[in-house]
A and B are shown apart, each in its own frame.
Chain A
């Protein structure tokens, strides 16, 4: 586009009272750029004034010097124009008052003693805005070469069928892939199930049969049983899927990364890259590389992972006291199978089991946790199975020994209703021993509600084993991604394919693939069905967003995507490795191949690239670097004691709003810091530090989200990566005789705005104590 620049400065909200407008307007004027001021720029008249300039084709790239870009976003929105907001209000005049920084007298303006730190900051922000609109482009959406709206559902259980139905009802074609020879999953083999709706009181027949019938009645649902995924290649909107019969070995089975123990030689030393690659090829012999396209593959737009769970295997010393090896001590899963066949009988001799003890927690008296992978499901299953005992035998007795009865929410009514049942006894307690006694078993428990020591004679004992997500054993989705076939970081969720975000439960590190049901948390049927609907929505949404060339959450609607200048690529692979979403696949040479619809536009690749060849239309190394270079750095040539200059690169998602709040609360901090919001600290490129220090700035601080297992970074590891990068640069500074304290990293949560001034000031003080940057003025 042929850019026509303009600057508009609002003098309202204290901006005009605090700043010297004449001097401020001079900044664009000097560059020959028209600058208009208005006392109330966000008013109808103010906006009309800008719109008129747009309509008259006088301007299409503008800087609006007014409030923070977080407010009046809809007001300063001009179709087809590049708009940059210079934050004069929350960023300059609100935090820094004239009481603290008095206006200069006329005669002080040109001497070498006085300067006006607030005015300097405002002028810098206008300059930084001007250079940014010069450097960026209007984005144009990415279009995939092929496109499919079909949805692939992995798993034909209750969750998978529910997802399929919900997507089909919205008009989408769905394929259900089920490993076994029939639909229904675990629920199809149960005797009864817990209530899924009001009144939450009685057992009901399994819902699986109803769902199977409904699924089969939909012509836009294709069912493939005895099938699994060999690989999913490509990207949202055009996933290229190879299916196969379970157990079959085919060329398009996805190659797996080498297990860790194979990455070292016999002496325990790390293999060289070449050796590791050779071993990788050997390990995956007969399997095509991830970039090889399956000519017979089928296109899908998005994937729902509803592969479910398997019963936990309870073995070993941990469960020895529960008599886990005895014939008549069974898991809840084994008990369900017995119950599904008919009356409850003992495995050892087929005799009627009328006295059954249900054990919910294995920790003796030392630990009150439930079995692993249980959630609140096993408490409810015990109630259900206790009812089976009562249904089968008039004189049947069921005892549930729990540490904490877990029937949250309205499931409490199910608990209450079971409490009314004669012959179901429940107590808190710690089971210390299960042992054979006569023709049966004896169960001993302590600290129960029925007395200190409880001994029960039982025909059978049922232990409440958990629901292990199948992703613990197998990635299932088998992605042909360079980063590997499964979801990343499942280890922090105990191998569940869960989201790290409380607000955004469908957020995964693999765009276009949404997990639902027991694969992400132990869930009841009721919860799984709800979850299935949500996943179906996210799958559809991702397909439609990919079709429009826009990003999905959290930068929903973003039309930009990474662009590579390949001539300068050194095949270092950092972008491929660091991308939180596995969006890049490199070829055998190591040249990255972008999959733009997998991309979530965080810019981590741009930050990682040492050659700086990655950019987005409106966000580039040069656009930020030029902003840094636009910052005025006064030296001793200008003033006797020139003010220090600091650069703060801050996360626009959390730290920037916190900074706005600092302004709103009129909290002061060093006015010598210039803040540049960036997409994510993951997009921080070390060149910006060099840019800042080379032009004489005294220090650089990065402010981003908290990292660690409970990371708050919206792009997984952005702040963590930035910290690593800046630590490295700190070391490099020492070799230039610059103190490494001149660069710093800090974590802040959005609500910790009250700490921000302190953090900024402490950094400024520390650097000021070191003295000015020796390169200043060169």
Chain B
């Protein structure tokens, strides 16, 4: 088998999902000279990692890498970004697809300068889903202060009165409430699905009390609380009474490695909880932190070192066992946990101020499958078929992974997609 001399760089590919892995696939391909259409369903790129305060184990902010990636997009004319957009349909075959992309109305056009005057006059408030509904935001909003593109969005829930006020106040004719959903057909040779993940719905984990007790929160909610652009401006407080927590428990594998929920290991939750312990420690030097686990999956030098450092903390307790029951103490909002120590076999009863559920990751394709012929495993992850070519999954659409692994995978998948183009070039 041979491939003739270098085919000239030509052809287009589509990347679906503008989170860290989608950005990676898109940029790596674009920086090889290919035209890339990057399709993101939210109003801003950045995806799941834009909600994180820090990455483990370096404890560095994801916005640092996102900023570099946004700059790479700015400097590269090969990438065309479509936000608020989803793939509606794919026709054709590997090397020659026609993709129908549907774009929801933003009600704000390119004139927007992000001056913020609209938000000032807007009275309608909506739940802030970027912060998992822990606070409210104006119905005229920027997704967050590192949003890319830096442009406001008008939520359809906005009152007529607000709409009128906003139209008046905007000096740049950027507001257009008549905007409608648009569809567009794009020709591409290959498609990479970087559709990412959603935190497992914690209300499904009946015994852990999420949704019933205010002080049971998920790991992703804690991430928002700890972030300076989060609902509490970075201060971790217990939701029921804004008290500074003194005892905090983590329930690992909340919904993962569980026959009733996700069967697989979600890869990141052990390291995430250890990282969360560092957030808590930075704010509360004396807080007691209990981590209930089955196995601590902190493999490799970097992760083992991180875990080893936390083990030196006398007020962090690692308990091999699963939290079985949670109930709320009347009046105080404190939580009574029942867990089993699997080593001693003893039942542990413990009262804590807050319980963090280390909920795992579910591929978005498990919840909402695109209207495309793709192979899935029983969990909804997309299975890659390299011999077939044309369409590939990368990052957490393909398997549970941390950011490093996702990005390795996402980089490689750009080349696999390019193979499809070269073959037909």
Contacts and interface: CB of A to CB of B under 8 A. Distances in A.
A653 interface: yes
A42 B416 CA distance: 39
A265 interface: no
A411 B265 CA distance: 8
A40 B170 CA distance: 12
Interface string A524-555: 00010011111011101100110000001110
A408 B267 contact: yes
B67 A530 contact: no
Nearest to A548: B33
Of B298, B377, B412, B416, chain A has the most CB atoms within 10 Å of the CB of B412
B114 A538 contact: no
Contacts of A553: 31, 72
A198 B398 CA distance: 11
A661 B145 contact: yes
Interface in A549-586: 552-554, 556-557
Contact of A409 (B65, B72, B401): B401
Contact of A544 (B32, B296, B304): B32
Contact of A654 (B64, B234, B377, B412): B64
A751 B228 CA distance: 7
B115 A502 contact: no
A205 interface: no
A259 interface: no
Interface string B362-389: 0000000000000001010101100000
A172 B6 contact: yes
Interface in B1-27: 1-7, 9, 20, 24, 27
B61 A751 contact: yes
Interface string B155-188: 0000000000000000110000000000000000
Interface centre among A170, A413, A449 (most CB of B within 10 A): A170
B407 A376 contact: no
Given A197-B383, A413-B263, A661-B146, A404 B296 contact: yes
Interface stretch (A217-225, A389-397, A623-631): A217-225
Nearest to B149: A71
A402 B297 CA distance: 12
Interface stretch (B35-43, B52-60, B215-223, B279-287): B52-60
B412 to A, nearest CB: 3
Contacts of B58: 500, 502, 710, 712
Given A169-B3, A375-B300, A502 B404 contact: yes
B350 interface: no
Contacts of A521: 300-301
Contact of B6 (A14, A43, A149, A534): A149
A665 interface: yes
B2 A220 contact: yes
Contact of A449 (B53, B299, B343, B400): B343
A556 B72 contact: yes
A778 interface: no
B400 to A, nearest CB: 4
B130 interface: no
B227 A751 contact: yes
Contacts of B403: 502-503
Given A40-B172, A197-B383, A408 B299 contact: yes
A571 to B, nearest CB: 35
Given A198-B383, A408-B265, A496 B411 contact: no
B278 to A, nearest CB: 12
A664 interface: yes
Contacts of A751: 53, 61, 63-64, 227-229
A521 B404 CA distance: 11
A521 B33 CA distance: 30
A527 B409 CA distance: 9
Contacts of A407: 265
Interface in B277-331: 295-302, 304, 307-308, 320
Contacts of B299: 370, 374-376, 379, 406, 408, 522
Contact of B69 (A214, A503, A505, A657): A503
Nearest to A167: B415
B111 interface: yes
Given A533-B412, A661-B145, A750-B61, A12 B115 contact: yes
A541 B115 contact: no
B408 A493 contact: no
Interface in A487-517: 493-494, 496, 500-506
Nearest to A712: B60
B150 interface: yes
Nearest to B9: A544
A541 B171 contact: no
A542 to B, nearest CB: 10
Chain A interface size range: 35 or more
B257 interface: yes
A39 B379 CA distance: 54
Contact of A170 (B68, B298, B418): B418
Contacts of B377: 198-199, 410
Contacts of B400: 408-410
A291 interface: no
A476 to B, nearest CB: 19
B3 A220 contact: yes
A170 B389 CA distance: 13
Contacts of B55: 502-503
Contacts of B7: 171
B7 to A, nearest CB: 5
Nearest to B228: A754
A536 B301 contact: no
Interface in B393-425: 399-401, 403-405, 407-409, 411-416, 418-419, 422-423
A540 B32 contact: yes
A752 interface: yes
Interface string A349-387: 000000000000000000011101111100100000000
A753 interface: yes
B32 A531 contact: no
B72 A14 contact: no
Given A43-B172, A534-B408, A752 B228 contact: yes
B240 interface: no
A503 B407 contact: yes
Contacts of B296: 368, 404
A284 interface: no
Contacts of A661: 145-146
Nearest to B308: A369
Contacts of B307: 369
B207 interface: no
Interface string A183-200: 000000000000001110
A199 B62 CA distance: 33
Contacts of B89: none
Given A505-B404, A553-B72, 16 more contacts: A70-B150, A74-B74, A170-B415, A171-B5, A369-B307, A405-B295, A408-B299, A410-B264, A500-B58, A502-B403, A506-B411, A530-B412, A537-B411, A556-B76, A557-B72, A664-B145
14 contacts: A12-B113, A67-B113, A169-B422, A170-B418, A170-B422, A374-B299, A404-B296, A410-B400, A416-B263, A541-B31, A553-B31, A653-B64, A661-B146, A664-B116
A-B pairs with the 10 shortest C-beta distances? A503-B65, A533-B412, A534-B411, A376-B299, A751-B61, A537-B415, A534-B412, A219-B2, A404-B295, A412-B265
Interface of B: 1-7, 9, 20, 24, 27-28, 31-33, 53, 55, 58-69, 72, 74-76, 111, 113-116, 145-146, 150, 171-172, 227-229, 233-234, 257, 263-267, 295-302, 304, 307-308, 320, 342-343, 377, 379, 381, 383-384, 399-401, 403-405, 407-409, 411-416, 418-419, 422-423
